Structure 1
Amino acid sequence: MKIALFSDIHANLPALEAMLKDLDARHVDAVYCLGDLVGYNVWPNEVIGEIRKRNIATLAGNHDLKVKKLVTTEHSLSELGKNYAYHLVDIDGRKYLATLPAHIRLEFKLNDDALNIVLAHGSTRSVDEYVLEDLDETYVLEMMDEAKADILCVGHSHKPYHRILKADDSNYKHVVNLGSVGKPKDGNPNGCYVILTLSQTSSVTDPSSVLVEFIRVAYDVERAARAVEDSPLPNEFADMLRNG
C-alpha cells in the first residue's frame, strides 16, 4: 500500500497545484493531509476548496485553529498585517476548519501482528508541539507508547526527516516529518511531501520493511511570492518562500 502524506500548505495555491499534479501521476492508494491549510498567503479558500473537492482526510493545524476565533470587518482587512491571511477565509471555510480532527489513526494487521500509524499535526500531545529530529529519544518513545503508535507522522516544523528508534530488544518505531508543501524551512524552496509504502512483510521488527520517500516538487515560487507582496501581508513572507 502506498500512502501519500502532506502538510503545511499555508494558502500557497501554486505549490499545492504542483504537488497534486505530481501526486496524481504516482497512483497512490490513500492520501492524508496533516493540516495548516491557511496562513501566510492569499489563497486559503482555493486551497480548502481543492482539499474538499478531492475528499482528502485532513487534520486541524495550529494555523487552521486560529481562524475560528476571528471577527472580520471589511474596513479592517488592510490593517491586519500578518493576520490578514486568516481573515480571507470565507464562512464556509471557517466552518470546515473548525470541525477537522486532531489525529488520525490507521491500524494495520500484517504478518499476524499490529502496525499502527498515527497522524498528528504537531504531536500527539499538542498541535503546537514541535517533534524535531533531535528531540530527546526517551521523550519521543514515551509519547509514541502513550499514543500506541509504531509510525508517527507529523508536520508543523516544515523540516522533513525520517527517524528510526529502537523501542526494545526486537521492535522499532518510525517518526516521519513530512516537511511542507507551501512553506519549506529546510533551505530548499521546493514543496515537500511523503509517500509511505507498506507491504505484506512490513513489521515493527524490521525497520527496512517500512519505506519512506520524500518527494520535492518545484512550483512557481515567484507567483506565490508576488501574491504576498501585492497584499497587506509582510514582504518577509515572500522572502521566506524564495529562500525556503
Structure 2
Amino acid sequence: MRIALFSDVHANFPAFEAMLQDMDSQKPDAVYCLGDLVGYHIYPNEVIDEIRRRGIATLKGNHDEKVENIITTPESLNEPEKKYAYHLIREDNREYLTTLPAHIRLEYKLNGEKLNLVFAHGSTRSIDEYILIDTDADYVLEMLKEAEADLLFVGHSHKPYHRILETRDGRLKHLINLGSVGKPKDGDLKGCYVIVHLNAGSSTTDKNSIEIEFRRVEYDVEASAIAIINSPLPDEFADALRLAK
C-alpha cells in the first residue's frame, strides 16, 4: 500500500500542478490532503476545482476555516483579509470548504496487529497548533495516545520531518509533518509531499517496516512569484516563495 499525502497548497496552482504530475507518476493507491488549500496566492479556485475533480479526501486547514466568516463581495476588498485572496473564492467552493472534516483516521490490521493512521492539519487537538520536530516528546506521546494514533500526519508548520518516539511499553510511534506544496518554509524552494509505504509486515515494533518518503518537486517559482507581484496581494508573499521562508 502506497499512500500519498500533501498539505498547505495555499492557492499556489503552479506548484500544485507540478506536485500532481510527480504524484501521478508514482501511482499511489490512495491520496489525502491535510488542508489549507487557500490563502497567500491568486489561484484558490483552480486548486479547489482540481481537488474536487480528482475526489481527493481533504481536511479543513486553518485558512480554509477562516473563509467561512468572510463576506466575499466587492465591498470586502477593503477588509484586511483581502490580502489572502479569500474574496476570489467562488461561492460553491466556499461551501465545499465549510464541509471539510477536522480529522481522518485509517485503521489497518497487518500481520495480526492493528495500525492506526491519523491525519490532522495542525494537531488532533487544534487546527492551528504547531507540532514541531522539537515539541516536547511527552506532550506528543500523550496526544498520540489520546488520538489512538500509531502514525500521526500533520501539516501547518510547512516544515517537513519524520520523528519516531518510543512508548513506555516499547512501541514506536511516528509523527510526520508533510511540509508544504505551495509555501515551503524550510529553505528549500521545491514543494514537498509524502508517500507512505506500508506492507503486510508493517508494525509498531519495527521502525524499518514503515517507510516515509519525502518527495521534493521543482516548479517555476519565479513565474509564480511574478503572478503575485502583478496582483493586489502583498509583494511579501512573492518574496516568501523566493526564499522559502
Shared fold by TM > 0.5? yes
Equivalent pairs counted in the alignment come to 244
Instruction: Give the aligned partner of residue 98 of structure 2.
Output: 98
Give, as a single letter, the amino acid of the residue that structure 1 aligns with 2:17.
E
Describe the superposition over 1:162-220 as per-residue Cα deviations: whole angstroms up to 9, x where unpaired.
Answer: 00000123310000000000000000010000000000000011111110010000001
Instruction: Give the aligned partner of residue 69 of structure 1.
Output: 69
Structure 1 ranges of 4+ moved more than 6 A = none
Helix, strand or coil: the match of 2:144?
Answer: helix
Name stretches of at least 5 consecutive residues in structure 1 with no aligned partner: none
> Structure 1 residue 67: deviation in Å?
0.4
Instruction: Give the aligned partner of residue 197 of structure 2.
Output: 197
For normalisation by structure 1, the TM-score amounts to 0.97
Give me the whole-angstrom Cα distance separating, in 2, the residues matched to 1:82 and 1:239. 18
Q: CA 1:84–1:203 in 2, change beyond 3 Å: closer, same or farther?
A: closer
> Structure 1 residue 120: deviation in Å?
0.2
- Are 2:145 and 1:145 aligned? yes
Describe the superposition over 1:213-236 as per-residue Cα deviations: whole angstroms up to 9, x where unpaired.
Answer: 100000011121111111111100
Give me the whole-angstrom Cα distance separating, in 1, the residues matched to 2:101 and 2:199. 27
Percent sequence identity is 65
Give me the whole-angstrom Cα distance separating, in 2, the residues matched to 1:172 and 1:152. 12
- Are 2:95 and 1:114 aligned? no
Give, as a single letter, the amino acid of the residue that structure 2 aligns with 1:46.
E
Give me the whole-angstrom Cα distance separating, in 2, the residues matched to 1:115 and 1:13. 34
For normalisation by structure 2, the TM-score amounts to 0.97
> Structure 1 residue 73: deviation in Å?
2.3
Give me the whole-angstrom Cα distance separating, in 2, the residues matched to 1:83 and 1:136. 34
Helix, strand or coil: the match of 1:68?
Answer: helix
Give, as a single letter, the amino acid of the residue that structure 1 aligns with 2:62.
N
Give me the whole-angstrom Cα distance separating, in 1, the residues matched to 2:81 and 2:171. 49
Contact 1:81–1:233 (CA<8 Å) still a contact in 2? no
**Pairwise CA RMSD:** 1.2
Give, as a single letter, the amino acid of the residue that structure 2 aligns with 1:24.
D
Higher mean C-alpha deviation, range 52-61 or range 72-81: 72-81
Give, as a single letter, the amino acid of the residue that structure 2 aligns with 1:238.
A
Name stretches of at least 5 consecutive residues in structure 2 with no aligned partner: none
Contact 2:83–2:232 (CA<8 Å) still a contact in 1? no
Contact 2:141–2:167 (CA<8 Å) still a contact in 1? yes
